[in-house]
Amino acid sequence: MDFNLTQEHSMIRDMVYAFTRREVMPIIRDYDRSHTFPKHLLPKMAEQGFLGVCLPVRYDGAGMDFISLGLVAEGLEYGDSSVRETVAVHLGLHALPIFQWGTDEQKREFLPPLARGENIGCFGLTEPGAGSDVAAMASRARKDGGDYLLSGEKMWITLSDVANRFLVFAKTSPDAGTNGITAFILERGWKGLTTGAIEGKMGVHASNTGWINMEDVRVPASHRLGEEGEGFKIAMSALDNARYTVAAGAIGIIRACIDESLAYARVRKTFGKPIIEYQLIQQMIANMGQSLAAGELLVWKAGWLKNQGVRNTRETSMAKWFCTDAARRAADDAVQIHGAYGYSDEYRVERHLRNTKSAVIYEGTSQIHTLMQAAYISGERKDKPMRCEMPAYDPSAWQSEA
């Protein structure tokens, strides 16, 4: 057992944090205030390899492992959740499912432009009437010759207005429950496909969140991902990747809350002394430290299992549940430590508090993860092998050009 980051992982972490301090932190408050997606960061993130960090080099990825993916998420979310969301969705929910479930032809066609950031991908599962209960989805895909015609509405979709590739889910067999769902890759510009933004969010203002509308969108069979009826499994395996980035990102938030709280508490004085000297303040910071230490172990274990190619739905769910709840508490305490100043966006902790609420809702609410963990503990839930499992990380295969 080795709890140290390798030299390579330490370098990646330093590089991502440096990127966040240089490119994200100086500008993000203005983007958050104006509810604008910082589009100019996409080519910069692509240049650093973040948009394809754990994709093999032969698909123009950076050829790194899943721990590296977690470190990218952590470092980006140290600056802002919205920026980490881009990687979680584009890579975790769009590109990695193609890597796991796509045919060789689909991988060769779809992955390189995604890894290079020339195409941006999103993930459309949630609908106005179906969130946690995926099987309640109303979107339909019916066969028409060799094609499919897709109709339906997707809601709360991150990057819906930014993306030009859409991994969406629709029922091909409406009476078959989760076994009747199929996954499709759609392209912007196809007739019948429209998107729009959702206004009035509580947080992640610098993230683009919106809807996708599909009216008889003609999708060639070559754009079906996996077999008919495999959509639910594809969606759940995609969530295994993205939940991991959400958990790792929450570590970045906790770290930010500790740093901001320490800096403020050392200079803010009440009753003649810095507030850091009060044990009630120290307790809040110690609680953040406890969450950080425990959360990191959960994230790294999930990342390590991913590198081994071992199914990690249980561990990833635990990491996501624990870390996002802990980040929300840390941000709440960080605002408390900042007093009235924490209630304004003059300090970053106010943004972190609004942002952390989204992460306990998406990628499985905390209630859904509680139910999952209860079912694992009681033995009621056991994960069965899938037709396509994510392969174990093999550095020579991932870094080879061929």
Ligand X SMILES: Cc1cc2nc3c(=O)[nH]c(=O)nc-3n(C[C@H](O)[C@H](O)[C@H](O)COP(=O)(O)OP(=O)(O)OC[C@H]3O[C@@H](n4cnc5c(N)ncnc54)[C@H](O)[C@@H]3O)c2cc1C
Catalytic residues: 363
Strand 193-197 with 181-187, pairing: unpaired
Residue 153's beta-bridge partner residues? Answer: 213
DSSP tag of 24: I
Residue 196: CB atoms within 10 A of its CB come to: 11
In the complex with ligand X, the residue whose CB is nearer, 178 or 365, is 365
Burial of 40 (0-12, 13-18, 19+ CB in 10 A): exposed
CA 64 to chain centre: 17
H-type helices in 212-270, by residue range? 231-267
With respect to ligand X, which residue has the nearer C-beta, 312 or 358?
358
Q: What's the min distance (Å) between Cβ of 93 and ligand X?
A: 6
Helices (H) and strands (E) in the chain, counts: 14, 10
Q: Min. distance of Cβ 400 from ligand X in angstroms? A: 32
Interface residues toward ligand X, by CB under 6 A:
89, 122-126, 131-133, 156-158, 204, 209, 358, 361-362, 365, 367-368, 371
Distance in angstroms (rounded) separating the CA atoms of residues 318 and 15: 28
349-358 burial code (b ≥16 CB/10 A, e <16): bbbbbbbbbb
Q: Quick check: helix, strand or coil at residue 377?
A: helix
Closest separation in Å from C-beta 316 to ligand X: 15
Q: Is 14 helix (H, G, I), strand (E, B) or coil?
A: helix
Buried b (16+ CB within 10 A) or exposed e, 124-155: bbbbeebbeebeebebbbeeeeebbbbbbbbb
Q: Which is nearer to ligand X, 125 or 349 (CB)?
A: 125
CB of 167 to ligand X, least distance (A): 9
> Least distance to ligand X from the beta carbon of 231, Å?
12
Report which residue's Cβ sits closest to ligand X.
131
Minimum distance from residue 83 beta carbon to ligand X (Å): 14
Q: How far apart are CA 226 and CA 99, in angstroms?
A: 11
Q: CA-CA distance, 14 to 10, in Å (whole number)? A: 6
Q: Give the residue carrying structure tokens 């123009």.
A: 60
Comparison of 79 and 131: residue with beta carbon closer to ligand X = 131
Residue 93 or 275: the one with the smaller Cβ distance to ligand X is: 93
Nearer to ligand X, 151 or 370 (CB): 370
Q: Which is nearer to ligand X, 15 or 138 (CB)?
A: 138
What phi, psi does 270 have (nearest 5°)? -135, 145
